[in-house]
Structure 1
Amino acid sequence: MIHSTLEFLTAELNAFIKLKVGDTMGNRIYLSSVTNEAGIAIPDQSLGLSLINIEEERTIKEQRSTYINPVGKVEKRNPEIQLNLYVLITANFQNKNLNDSSDDYVEGLKQLGYAIAFFQSKNVFTKENSPGLSGFDPELMKIVVELYSYSFEQLYNFWTVVGAKYLPSVLYKVKTLKIQENAIQESGDPIEKIHLDTLHKS
């Protein structure tokens, strides 16, 4: 579900940015790690969408562990896990090709701005407003994307950890993905009557 969520958001962003730049052929954003052994992993002259952290959403954690299945049996399984994903969108335009305006630093800022504009205009994705969602994962019901601000210290620490110089980027919090494997631990008939013994021994 994590991969299908990020693939869906990448595809939606890609379609939006291609309309903005007037080029329907090439990809404008890639689902990619920020770096690899060779350096920046995001293709040149493009944006990268990268998962940088996963956290459990505990404020609305499901507590129920027993359920009645369609045939009336009681099933016990672990409560679902709800996750938030932290996703970084990075512009890899480093002016490597000085005579190519499409590799200009300013062009990278422009396309990063398109990504911000996209999520400003649409930050909740459901099967009703995004018909393509079901094609990525039938269990995906709703995706909410929120801009996440972090401090200069956190920014510095992140780019130090990934081992690269800073590139223009914006961080989003994607919430909340529900993970339920439906592994049944116990199964049985429901309790329909409770008998109380009111007789006391003298």
Structure 2
Amino acid sequence: MIDKCMDILKNQIHQYFKSIPDLNVTSNETVSVSPLVKEDGSIVIPKDHLGLTLINIEEEKIHKAQTAVHKTVDGQIMHMNPELKINLYILLASNFNTYATGLKFLSACISFFQSKNVFTAANTPDFEPKIDKIIVELHTMGLEQQNHLWGYLGAKYLPSICYKVRMLIVQEGLAQDQQPGISETSFEGMGITAEVNES
């Protein structure tokens, strides 16, 4: 699912770049999903590309799912682990032959996410069916945080911007057990019958 999310964003950014005459995009690809560097520290991002790199994954705790019981269409009750909601932190780094051109493409990327920060099947062609929606938010890092990040990644700084992508929902749908639903309960000897609402 993470790979599909990254591909969606890569393709959408590239299509936006193609729509801007000032960028003069003639290639089939301007954004690459890739790590920043190889083991020897050399840059992996192709020349004249923006690199789209996953730098962190976190669990979404504020909207954490708690429901472990699910009702099927035929009235069966299934127990399965609650769905997992995750956020991604992505880095868009500019690796262009000229510094000014790199800044131009990075600025266009910022403009794109300002104009469209929610991606769904309704507004995005070839959207992944397993993904409900993608919400992209600017994630600002201070100079000290950036210094730690680039040092941790083992790369020399490139003009870049960080975004938080939320929320991907992971639900494998494997039931731990499945039982018939309860529709009626009788209290013998008391003459009481109670209907149980399963919804």
Give the structure-1-normalised TM-score: 0.88
CA contact (8 A) 1:87 1:172 kept: yes
Alignment of 1:188-199 (within 5 A): 188-196=179-187
Instruction: Give the alignment partner of residue 99 of structure 2, picking from 89, 100, 105.
Output: 105
Q: Determine the C-alpha separation between the residues in 1 that align with 2:120 and 2:173.
A: 23
SS at match of 1:194: strand
Equivalent-residue separation in structure 1 for 2:149 and 2:49 (angstroms): 21
Unpaired runs of 5+ in structure 1? 94-102
1:1-202 equivalences in 2 (<5 Å): 1-20=1-20, 21-38=23-40, 39-93=42-96, 103-133=97-127, 137-196=128-187
Question: In 1, distance between residues paired with 2:111 and 2:39?
Answer: 32
The superposition leaves residues 166-189 of structure 1 with CA deviations (integer Å, 9 ceiling, x where unpaired) of: 110000000000000001101011
Amino acid at match of 2:12: E
State the AA in 1 paired with 2:106: L
- Distance in 1, matches of 2:19 and 2:94, equals 18
Cα distance in 2 between the residues matched to 1:138 and 1:128: 11
Instruction: Check whether the contact 1:147–1:172 (CA below 8 A) recurs between aligned residues.
Output: yes
For 1:26 and 1:187, locate their aligned partners in 2 and report how far apart those are by CA, in whole Å.
49
Which residue identity lines up with residue 83 of structure 1 in the other structure?
Answer: I
User: Would the aligned equivalents of 1:80 and 1:178 in 2 still touch at CA under 8 Å?
Assistant: yes
- Quote how far apart the aligned CAs of 1:88 are: 0.3
Identify which of structures 1 and 2 has the higher relative contact order when contacts are C-alpha pairs closer than 8 Å and 6+ apart.
1
**2:195 counterpart residue number:** none
Maintained 8 Å contact 1:68/1:74: yes
Aligned residue identity for 2:143: F
Structure 1 residue 197, shift from structure 2 partner: 5.9
Query: Structure 2 CA distance, aligned partners of 1:68 and 1:139?
Result: 20
Which amino acid letter does the alignment assign opposite residue 156 of structure 1? Answer: N
Q: How many residues align structurally?
A: 187
